[in-house]
Amino acid sequence: MSAAKIRVLMAKPGLDGHELGAVTVARALRDAGMEVIYTGLHQVPEQIAAAAIQEDVQVIGTSIYSGSHLGLMERVVAELKRRGAFGQFLLLVGGPIPPSDVSKLKAMGVDEVFSSRSPMASIVRYIEEHAPQRANV
């Protein structure tokens, strides 16, 4: 019996229109055997939380290049908490995140932060090692 594919929601919160990083990561995750649902550009935190719950994913990956990562992720975490879903997902952020903001993101509930220069293999490996197991497989 084969293991179920890891399901990942890839989201672009906010007004950031730079999607190359999100698409590149999504492709790498798909090539690694994961199922990726890409929400597209300009998603609000409410849409991200709703999509993660509806799609029954294990991982929420966000790509933020606008510099508004702290505010946007604070809102995503708050929305997940409001819906009673915080802690059900591995929550990741990628982009040009200043090192000084990594601890702030983790303190608010983000599981891991990947810089724009993170190797795809390290992102894949992290997800494979940390994604929550599905209860109904």
In the chain, where the domains are located: 7-130
CATH architecture, domain defined by 7-130? 3-Layer(aba) Sandwich (3.40)
pTM comes to 0.94
With contact defined as beta carbons under 8 Å apart, do 59 and 89 qualify? yes
With contact defined as beta carbons under 8 Å apart, do 59 and 127 qualify? yes
**Residues ≥6 apart with Cβ < 8 Å to 133:** 58
The list of the chain residues with pLDDT below 70 reads 1-3, 134-137
Instruction: Quickly list DSSP for 56-90.
Output: T-SEEEEE--SS-HHHHHHHHHHHHHHTT-TTSSE
Instruction: Quickly list DSSP for 15-27.
Output: T----HHHHHHHH
> What is the per-residue pLDDT for 137?
45
Q: In the beta sheet, which residues pair with residue 36?
A: 8
How many Å apart are CA 46 and CA 22, to the nearest integer?
Answer: 19
Give tens-digit pLDDT for 34-46. 999 999 899 999 9
